[in-house]
Structure 1
């Protein structure tokens, strides 16, 4: 038995070498460099960079704006993405039409965020298509200012990140056996009760994975907030970029980066705990 296990390990080690080396080179080593640089000040070990971040109200205000924008983007993507994914998986019967819709959904991902953000700058301008349409149908009396506001940033981020949550929820919905929904209907459940007690709980993990992806990408977004804010709103990635590219203070930039990372991981972990608790409660109610 030991000889067999040893031979299996000898065959597995070469296969593991490449992914382990890739992980070390492109994740572990850069992370160690950022952490170590954040703990240095003036060439000596120090927590001064973190004290500078955590004890300055300005950083907390920027952090709050960053998470507020990311939270609104995530909520909007979930509210728009779930019905769209449900429509593509459950309503659209033609496989060709479904594939066409998916291609149209992911096609913008092949375009640079810079190009798409510039496009939204044109659309959201005072004389842009969005304002012209809102004024034309009577929703607004005069053009509304979108650029330089959190609303404009959220609109741009929702457009960019919506495909991620649609694909995640769509894959989860496609994995739900329709026989379970048919059985629920045969037992007298209404379509809404079937969705609430069968469909939604089963695809909740896919929804949560999409929410996590959208939130983390929105928190770390730089290009879209930088362009659509017009310099009037600052988010944490903009501060980090400024320290690395303009001020060249890698120690302070590392502290900012690690602060954002830790805060994001805490919020993602909290969201995962709430999601698991909600799924368990839903399952108990269904029983």
Structure 2
């Protein structure tokens, strides 16, 4: 072997071994379990059980609807916030404080944050009490156990990922492009939609992919904020593995979730490449 290749291969050995042991091997176990039954015979029965049942399609629809809405709301809130941090905050120390405030909640467990939202969104929680005291509503809103409540919690948990991804793209944007657009007589709105947004699209796409993949596979936040009234695929998978101990059925649900997620991510990546080529 070429001596020049030994060092790079030696450096890659440990990461590759870790990747195989803790990612590929468990994934292979899940896939093999989904393709067999209790008698260890090869079968597609588990996939037929998942895809032929209307209930599972309803759960899939709810799962991806919540994930898509979480991604959309995070984008609508994250882009202005990233713009504020990178363009409007001139004092570097204050910018660091804002970034720290944005990131600090991520150091807290999702369980703790979800319990906090259960207190805030309850019928006698802070949000309902504030709206009632302000005369904006006549009776408490039902937020817990609804998709709206789950969406609020998911956006709160995942918004920092979107802000950091878009903020990184905005910070790398060359100001000369905006100056050239202004010199050519383009108004600020046209500059944003025809210059800034296309150039920051890679950051937008990466932020959307991160938020979507985390949202579609989230368990803690939907489980706590749904109160058992709404089911998503991650909750069904957890139930099969932890309570029913049906690893074959749970494996099929896991693979179906993985395939649908990969299709959505691939579609988003294709849109990003098409926009970039244009």
> In which range does the TM-score fall when normalised by the shorter chain?
over 0.9
Tell me the equivalent position of 1:17.
Answer: 13
1:165-184 paired onto structure 2 within 5 Å: 165-184=162-181
Provide the rounded CA distance (Å) in 2 between the counterparts of 1:264 and 1:251. 20
Select which of 29, 32, 36 maps to 1:36: 32
Which residue matches 1:285?
A: none
Q: Which residue of 2 aligns with 1:52?
A: 49
The corresponding residue for 1:202 is: 199
TM-score w.r.t. length of structure 2: 0.97
Deviation at 1:162, TM superposition (A): 0.2
1:148 matched to 2:145: yes
Structure 1 residue runs of 5 or longer lacking an equivalent are 282-287
Q: Deviation per CA, 1:12-46, whole angstroms, max 9, x where unpaired?
A: 21111011111111111111111111111022111
Name which of 237, 262, 267 aligns with 1:265.
262
Aligned length: 277
What's the RMSD between the two structures over aligned residues?
1.2
Could you report, residue by residue, the CA deviation over 1:231-283 in whole angstroms, capped at 9, with x for unpaired residues? Answer: 100000000000000000111110000000001111111122233334444xx
Query: Structure 2: which 5+ runs fail to align?
Result: none
Contact conserved, 2:198 with 2:275, CA < 8 A, in 1?
no
Once residues 113 and 176 of structure 2 are traced to their aligned partners in structure 1, the CA distance between those partners, rounded to angstroms, is 42
Q: Do the aligned partners of 2:86 and 2:171 also contact (CA within 8 Å) in 1?
A: yes
Counterpart of 2:87 in structure 1 is: 90
Whole-angstrom CA distance in 2 between matches of 1:45 and 1:52: 15
The 5 A counterparts of 1:209-224 are 209-224=206-221
1:124-147, Cα deviation, whole Å (9 max, x unpaired): 001111112222333322210000
2: CA distance, partners of 1:147 / 1:180? 47
Q: Say if 2:221 is the partner of 1:230.
A: no
